[in-house]
Amino acid sequence: MKITKIKFRNWVMAKVETDAGIVGWGEGTVGRKTRAVAGCIDDLAYLILGQDPCRIEHVYNIMYRQYFWRPGLVIMGAMSAIETACWDILAKSLDVPLYKILGGQVRDKVRMYDHPAGGNPDAVYNTDTPEGIVEAVQISLDAGLDAVKVTIVPPTMPVESGKPIRKLERMMRALRDHVGEDVDLMVDFHGRTTPEMGIQYGRMLEQFDLLFMEEPCPPENPLGLQKVSERINIPLATGERLVTTFQFREIVEKQSVAIVQPDLCICGGLWQGKKIASMAETYYIAIAPHNPLGPISTAAALHFAFSTPNFLIQEALRLDAPWRDDVVDDPWLSENGYTYPREKPGLGVNLKDDAAEKYPFEQEKPYTYYHPDGSVADW
């Protein structure tokens, strides 16, 4: 027997140490920006060494405001990792689980969802065919989940006739017929389509009773999202590429979507996440944090979910790396599609000392996509 392949992912974790001996962990993964985020953490450390990690708002403002240039996604990823680690330290210093100082427990369990084949990027199933997507989604159903999100919108030009729409309809028909009426399905467009094509797809997808439709166009144009929302009868979701309350403000005020999806590893951390949730709550908008990331990110998202009233459902991968649960001392696991609160202090998970050495950085394969005419398309 020989090893033929090792599946790999890069996660960026920040370890914040204190003179009291308490260590906090945070995650700031920004896909395929690993070295950039790690470098930003080093830059930010120079600003905050000597600060009290329990003054979280103060530490955040130092990182956000003490450079003239406002941070974008990469720097916010680094900031989010440090900010989450500070919350971990504060909760550990008080000997309580993190959700108890984020507002306290507001629900008894958190509903989970994942992606086809548990998020395994090397799954052998051809998820570009009706048969393949059905087989891959069955892996999630076998794990007890009753909600799955698929990214199966075919390559689409800015404006097209019905060919790609008919292809997606065939796949969704096979999927809905297979899972039945009691499983929630979500379709992620990944911002690959224009508002015009998002509307065309959305009108077809109405028949499949989706929980939500994600990013039918890139999120930087709230009016585009609003246009789609006003013309279809499916709740829209967006937010994984937005940072801070400032970028979410217009989306929320225009009520462009029914669900916001801040990534707690990118948006600025847990406190920015809570502020975004509170802002959304005033417009009756739900929140479902983006999280196809590592075990520290999942732990932070779960504490957020247990303490946030307008929370809807939590994304988490299970099979994206065979060693996912090996790198932390006590991973959060779901039972029949739900995760339950725990009493361990802080996040309740710590990265193992040898994790970084056992699974060092490796260059990830870039994802690229071009339209048939050779022009660059959104991945």
Tell me the C-alpha distance between 374 and 331, whole Å.
44
Can you give the length of the chain in residues?
Answer: 379
Catalytic residue ranges: 190, 290
| Residue 15 CB coordination number (10 Å) | 16
| H, E, C per residue of the chain | CCCCCCCCCCCCEEEEECCCCCEEEEECCCCCCHHHHHHHHHHHHHHHCCCCCCCHHHHHHHHHHCCCCCCCHHHHHHHHHHHHHHHHHHHHHHCCEHHHHCCCCCCCCEEEEECHHHHCCCCCCCCCCHHHHHHHHHHHHHCCCCEEEECCCCCCCCCCCCHHHHHHHHHHHHHHHHHCCCCEEEEECCCCCCHHHHHHHHHHHHHHCCCEEECCCCCCCHHHHHHHHHHCCCCEEECCCCCHHHHHHHHHHCCCCCEECCCCCCCCCHHHHHHHHHHHHCCCCEECCCCCCCHHHHHHHHHHHHCCCCECCEECCCCCCCCHHHCECCCCCCECCEECCCCCCECCCCECCCHHHHCCCCCCCCCCCECCCCCECCC
CA distances from 364 to 11, 115, 330, 361, 367 (A): 11, 20, 27, 9, 9
